[in-house]
Amino acid sequence: MVKRNKEIIPRPKSCFNKVKCPNCGAERIIFDHTTTPIACKICNQELARPTGGKAIIFGKIVAKYG
């Protein structure tokens, strides 16, 4: 017997964003549903904050992927 898996999976429209740090201008790729806070490697400015859904992104999104 073949058991059917009828799962309804909601598809979150997740993507990667290239975000420009508002403080120093460095660019970083950030997953927009990140579950960990992301800070700029150079100046330690907070760039993304997880919310449980879509993360809050600080700084300017310059490109999107996915």
Find the shortest distance in angstroms from Cβ 33 to Zn ion.
22
Find the shortest distance in angstroms from Cβ 4 to Zn ion.
50
- Residue numbers of the site for Zn ion (CB under 5 A)? 21, 23-24, 26, 40, 42-43, 45
Calpha distance 2→6 (Å, rounded): 12
Comparison of 25 and 53: residue with beta carbon closer to Zn ion? 25
Find the shortest distance in angstroms from Cβ 7 to Zn ion.
41
In contact, 54 and 5? CB cutoff 8 Å? no
- Both tokens of residue 23? 């403080």
Alpha helices in 1-66 (DSSP H): none
Comparison of 21 and 30: residue with beta carbon closer to Zn ion? 21
Type of residue found at 18: K
